[in-house]
């Protein structure tokens, strides 16, 4: 199998001087290493269908989404392989982080780099705009300026220095965090700042449970308290997902864990959230709970029992529990 006859990254198209290398693999796929996107593979059929010669099948935003996703796996040893079925699923539900999450991502990037190296981080707007999930370089620079104005980040040198990626061409500054920025960074790391969503831990493949969650719980939570509810499949990516799952739990406002099947993953995710101090609400199918309870470490915790026949009652009890846990109460004023 021959190497693709293009000298640019099939994902980001190598704007602004980003370099990309490509080669063939024994797995009927092509391997790429891009300065911005990182290392990844694309199956031959996916490459021909979606990426060959800069195919227009992906919009600019979809390409940014995919580049941002691939950046998550920098430094991992597991191969990231983009197949036709995977990219089709991704394109049906791809989105970039909100501006507030992008701001948090930039603060985390600077804090992590400084903790690792002991010096400021050179902001490369081409690559770092992808890392934090910005829609464009100009929007990334607007965000950086806004964070400077708010006193969260700051340039650490008065003179410009060379970019390590391309020292002969690009100049800029190393950036760091202010004291207030470090306080924000530590709060983010400890999960003290919550996003506008909840995370649900559950067993997949049970038709009754999945219908209850997708048709009743998710839309009810959104309608009544205006929080999205995501599960592991909403954040699943090619390659390992552990770090993304931890980040999603850390940044969530609350966690719901269904223990109907004594799923080890649901118990682990609930325990991780409990350790971060997140509100955790447990669910369990009523018949199962009546017959066998849940693990003794959780069966005394707040548990909403549900059944297929009384789904409306169960969802109402869950919403009431969430309101108490999040200190959200309907306004007493008449409308």
Each residue's pLDDT expressed in tens, for the chain with a length of 335 residues = 555 656 678 898 876 667 777 777 777 888 888 888 888 889 999 999 998 877 788 888 999 989 988 886 654 455 678 999 888 888 876 778 888 888 988 998 999 999 989 889 999 988 999 999 999 999 999 999 999 999 999 998 777 888 887 777 678 889 999 999 999 888 877 666 666 789 999 988 888 998 999 899 999 999 998 888 888 776 544 444 666 788 788 888 899 999 999 988 899 999 999 988 889 999 999 999 889 888 877 867 888 999 888 888 888 999 999 988 888 765 433 33
- Looking at the chain, the domain(s) classified CATH 3.40.50.10140 span 197-326
Question: What's the rounded Cα separation, in Å, for the pair 256 and 217?
Answer: 11
Contact between 258 and 283 under an 8 Å Cβ cutoff? The reply is: yes
Confidence (pLDDT) at 327: 80
Q: Distances in Å between the alpha carbon of 193 and those of 100, 101, 104, 188, 250?
A: 11, 11, 10, 6, 8
Confidence (pLDDT) at 5: 57
Report pTM: 0.67
Nearest alpha-carbon partner for 144 in 131, 158, 159, 154: 154
Query: Which tokens in the block code for residue 39?
Result: 């290392």
- Looking at the chain, the domain(s) classified CATH 1.10.10.10 span 99-189
Confidence (pLDDT) at 302: 81
Contact between 41 and 81 under an 8 Å Cβ cutoff? The reply is: yes
Nearest alpha-carbon partner for 2 in 28, 20, 32: 28
Phi-psi region of 280 (alpha: psi -120 to 50; beta: other; left: phi over 0): beta
Radius of gyration of the chain (CA): 23
Question: What's the rounded Cα separation, in Å, for the pair 188 and 280?
Answer: 19
* Angle made by CA atoms 97, 100, 101, in degrees to the nearest 5: 45
Name the class of domain 99-189: mainly alpha
Contact between 216 and 311 under an 8 Å Cβ cutoff? The reply is: yes
Fold (CATH) for 197-326: Rossmann fold (3.40.50)
Nearest alpha-carbon partner for 207 in 260, 136, 247: 260
Confidence (pLDDT) at 2: 55
Torsions phi, psi of 43, nearest 5?
A: -60, 155
Question: What's the rounded Cα separation, in Å, for the pair 178 and 195?
Answer: 23
Q: Distances in Å between the alpha carbon of 40 and those of 35, 69, 158, 288?
A: 12, 11, 38, 44
């Amino acid at each position: 199998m021959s190497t693709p006859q293009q000298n640019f990254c099939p994902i980001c198209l190598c704007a602004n001087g980003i370099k990309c290398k490509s080669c063939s693999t024994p797995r009927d796929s092509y391997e790429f290493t891009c300065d911005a996107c990182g290392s990844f593979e694309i199956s031959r059929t996916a490459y021909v269908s979606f990426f060959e010669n800069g195919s227009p099948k992906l919009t600019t935003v979809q390409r940014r989404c995919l580049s941002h996703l691939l950046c998550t796996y920098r430094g991992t040893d597991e191969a990231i392989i983009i197949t036709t079925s995977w990219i089709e699923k991704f394109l049906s539900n791809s989105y970039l982080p909100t501006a507030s999450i992008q701001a948090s991502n930039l603060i985390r990037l600077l804090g992590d780099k400084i903790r690792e190296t002991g010096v400021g981080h050179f902001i490369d707007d081409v690559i770092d705009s992808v890392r934090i999930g910005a829609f464009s370089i100009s929007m990334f620079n607007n965000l950086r300026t806004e964070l400077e104005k708010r006193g969260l980040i700051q340039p650490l040198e008065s003179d410009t220095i060379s970019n390590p990626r391309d020292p002969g061409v690009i100049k800029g500054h190393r950036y760091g965090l202010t004291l207030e920025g470090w306080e924000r960074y530590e709060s983010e790391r400890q999960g003290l700042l919550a996003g506008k969503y909840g995370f649900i831990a559950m067993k997949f493949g049970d038709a009754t449970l999945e219908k209850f969650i997708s048709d009743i719980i998710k839309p009810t939570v959104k309608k009544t308290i205006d929080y999205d509810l995501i599960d592991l499949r909403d954040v699943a990516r090619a390659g390992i997902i552990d770090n993304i799952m931890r980040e999603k739990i850390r940044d969530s406002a609350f966690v719901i864990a269904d223990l109907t099947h004594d799923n080890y993953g649901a118990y682990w995710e609930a325990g991780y959230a409990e350790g971060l101090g997140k509100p955790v609400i447990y669910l369990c199918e009523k018949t199962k709970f009546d017959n066998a309870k849940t693990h003794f470490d959780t069966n005394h915790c707040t548990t909403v029992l549900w059944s297929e026949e009384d789904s409306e009652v169960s969802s109402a009890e869950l919403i009431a529990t969430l309101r108490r846990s999040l200190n959200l109460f309907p306004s007493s004023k008449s409308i």
